[in-house]
Structure 1
Amino acid sequence: MVRKRVWKSIDLFAGIGGIRRGFDNAFRDEIETVFVSEWDVYAQKTYSANYPGSVIYGDITLKETKDEIPAFDICLAGFPCQAFSLAGKRMGFNDDYKGVCRGTLFFEVAEICEKHKPAVVFCENVKGFKIHDKGRTFAIVKQTLENIGYKVYAQILNSKDFGVPQNRERIYIVAFRNDIDSSSFEFPQPFPAEEQIENYLLKIREEKPVPAKYYLSDTYMATLRRHKEYHRARGHGFGYEIRDWNSIAGAIVCGGMGRERNLVIDKRQKNLVPTTHIKGEINKEGIRKMTPREWARLQGFPDDFKITLADVHMYKQFGNSVTVNVIQAIAEKIKEILDLNKKRKYVRRAPRKNEPK
């Protein structure tokens, strides 16, 4: 009997566990998460609710935190994207937030991987990361990984090409340790996007109408219309957007116009009595924002994913998260390479005493 190789992974900048979810889906019982780090206390709560028993460490920049990291094979690191986002200031490695330089958190990943020499390093970031500072930022990251002994692959993929109706482009970086033959590695190919908002959200929606609190007030809609007209007159494309049920959603993001850029018309709710404090009345057009559960679906999270916090936190968390479908598709390609390398000493340990070969 030959035991399955169980790959040990660490989940850095874990958020709510989206990257882990994709790898768990791909590797199934052949992966074990042995270390988790996430400093946002609300994300920690959601992570714990969905991965009971997880010990979650906070600040990964602290030596005492790094000292807790055991030996591992796969590093999962969705290091913070705000420093490189096209929607932000794009400060990159110079970005400073509350005393923590987010742009340099990648080098914490590099330091950890240089010490432990995992088989694979997996990173995800915003599309703008590739072009930040005329490509120099990405070049530094690639060179850093190469300098510590890795072959680097990177590609921008769009969530809408992997089974969810969301237009979300992100860059994915996969690095294999040099002694692993990764010459046949390829990123997954897009497949036809048959899913639309209506098919994806309404076919698995709750039987009852969406609660009235998700419907916008007529006063707020008037404000949104004025805001959009202001920018339209200046040739800008800013402002709210009502998505057709037969289309795909725009990228969901945690701040700014994240929710207002993905409004829908849903006239199922007949009780238009406000359940929260709003100015004016609920609009009569049926315009509402998507719910956190619908955002979860747009990110590929299953309906049994536990949503336990207030909406304000869940919108932020799903907006900051990854699309599980895309992660799973890449993880399956990574697993193919690791499976091909099983005969190498690293990936196939010698049997223990009295263990069948």
Structure 2
Amino acid sequence: MNASDTHDFTFADLFAGIGGIRRAFEGAGGRCVFTSEWNKFAMETYRANFTKDESRSDHSFVGDITGITPRAVKKHDVLLGGFPCQPFSIAGVSKKNALGRAHGFADPTQGTLFFNVKEIIAAKRPAAFLLENVKNLKSHDRGRTFEIIEDQLRDKLGYHLQSRVVNGKGWTPQNRERILIVGFREPTTFNLNTLDLPAPESGPKVDKILHRKGEPLIPHDAGRYFDPRTGRVDPKYTLTENLWTYLQDYAAKHRAAGNGFGFGLVRPGMTTRTLSARYFKDGSEILIEQRGLRPRRLTPRECARLMGFPDDFIIPVSDTQAYRQFGNSVVVPAIVDVANAMRPHIVSALAASSDRVA
């Protein structure tokens, strides 16, 4: 997917990952002029899907955002960023606690990246921004973490701030709650909390994203994941006997202890748990039931669909890297709806301003 030559606004894509947020805002009339992503494998996927960036003089691509000053960020109308969530996620906090390590803003690396975002907003003063993170950001450290974010963006920088927890289950068959933080530099009638978004209970089921017999062959997948003539998924995605035994024993042990830990076995008419970046390890949170066989993992293409990426999205990396990338991404159609709702307010703000980026 590439931006057209005409656009209504420009944007910077920070912590860009594989470009899920970018796809949504390009579809809403935006043009990306600045991208930052530090992971080389995510950059490979991003570049494979936004190929014209390399020859565009109005686009800059940098790696680690901490390695440049806010002044070096290209001027833009809208700032977008899914800043790293591990310091605030439930799983991330539990892991860090177990290891005796800091989390949240006490994390000496990832936790400080919000402040890089804040400094860029302060330096560039975009007309609007959208930030995305895990639901737990709002309750982390008894709400103090989110209070700091609000204080920095609203009280220190003067942006009109709104936030809302959105569940991707309204668009794809996955229970995935994320917080969206929207800010406008000037007063606006935009209201994130009253947007009419699909209800989670009315969303599609997992059969909509699974490979099936007769499915059109995706040229850039080259039969990598399944055989469309038979509908048979490559056997390598079926759990080994040892792994399946281990997962069952692990779940039984935790059930006996009164804990809720265990694998997530999914049938076609169900929805899945949240796809995580650790999915490559054992696939335990989302296992597809197979009649007469052990369960299997989703293929990377099915993960792409679970996140709302269309089949023309190119997956140039290994399965391990693809699982990490989709587990870290956004539910694209959810961001599409929010981007489309923000668009007229962005355009209106730029029309009333003298500093629109051409």
Settle same-fold status: TM greater than 0.5. yes
Question: Does residue 248 of structure 2 align to residue 225 of structure 1?
Answer: yes
2:122 alignment partner, one of 95, 114, 118: 114
Per-residue CA deviation, residues 185-204 of structure 1 (Å, 9 max, x unaligned), is 23432324241111343566
**Which residues of 2 match residues 73-152 of structure 1 at below 5 A?**
73-89=77-93, 91-96=103-108, 101-146=109-154, 147-152=156-161
Change (3 A) 1:258 1:103: farther
Residue identity matched to 2:320: V
Aligned to 2:34: 35
Segment drifting more, 315-324 vs 44-53: 44-53
What SS does the corresponding residue of 2:149 show, helix, strand or coil?
helix
Unaligned runs of 5+ in 2: 54-59, 95-102, 218-227
Change (3 A) 1:344 1:315: same
**Which residues of 2 match residues 1-357 of structure 1 at below 5 A?**
6-25=8-27, 27=28, 30-54=29-53, 55-63=60-68, 66-89=70-93, 91-96=103-108, 101-146=109-154, 147-161=156-170, 163-177=171-185, 179=186, 181-187=187-193, 188-192=195-199, 193-202=202-211, 207=228, 208-255=231-278, 259-267=283-291, 284-341=292-349, 343-346=351-354
What SS does the corresponding residue of 1:297 show, helix, strand or coil?
helix
In 2: Cα distance, 1:53 partner to 1:343 partner: 28
Residue identity matched to 1:198: D
Deviation at 1:70, TM superposition (A): 1.7
What SS does the corresponding residue of 2:92 show, helix, strand or coil?
coil
Deviation at 1:81, TM superposition (A): 0.3
Segment drifting more, 196-205 vs 124-133: 196-205
In 2: Cα distance, 1:347 partner to 1:56 partner: 23
Deviation at 1:63, TM superposition (A): 3.2
CA contact (8 A) 1:185 1:337 kept: no
TM (normalized to structure 2)?
0.84
How many residue pairs were aligned? 321
CA contact (8 A) 1:252 1:258 kept: no
CA contact (8 A) 2:275 2:286 kept: yes
- Counting aligned pairs with the same residue, the percent is 37
In 1: Cα distance, 2:7 partner to 2:65 partner: 28
Aligned to 2:220: none
Segment drifting more, 245-254 vs 5-14: 5-14
In 2: Cα distance, 1:258 partner to 1:144 partner: 39
Going by fraction, where is helix more abundant, 1 or 2? 2
Segment drifting more, 245-254 vs 339-348: 339-348
In 2: Cα distance, 1:347 partner to 1:4 partner: 18
Deviation at 1:219, TM superposition (A): 1.9
